[in-house]
Amino acid sequence: MNSDETEMREAVRELAEALATMLNLIRADALPTTPEAHSLLRKSMAFLDESAGRIAAPGSPGEVLALATALNRLVVAAREQILDDAVAASPVPDHPDV
């Protein structure tokens, strides 16, 4: 395994940890979410579970890159939905008319 491949696998592991952290925050009700966000997170976690063995096992860097790219798209979609949910749940700022 060369250094680029090792670095890519480490990036995928960090992405997986970030996804797990985001999921734990939602489970703890620290972030407001909608059913859409929960669905995206479930898809992300299922994809991660299905591909974890291929990411960790020695294989072609192209396969790891494709898996990392797909996982990243899912996580970004979930993150964007969570941010949209948080904004929608935030109170409207109360400031005087300008």
- Which residues contact residue 31 at a Cβ distance below 8 angstroms, ignoring those fewer than 6 apart? 22, 25, 82, 85, 86
Read off the pLDDT band of 58 (50, 70, 90). Answer: low
Contact, 64 vs 12, CB < 8 A? yes
- At position 46, the amino acid (one-letter code) is A
The torsion angles phi and psi of 84, rounded to 5 degrees, stand at -60, -40
pLDDT tens per residue across span 65-87: 788 788 888 888 888 888 788 78
- Cα-to-chain-centroid distance, residue 84: 15
Q: What is the pLDDT of residues 12-48, one digit of tens each?
A: 777 777 777 777 777 777 666 788 888 888 888 888 8
pLDDT the model gives residue 72: 81
48-57 confidence digits (pLDDT tens): 888 878 877 7
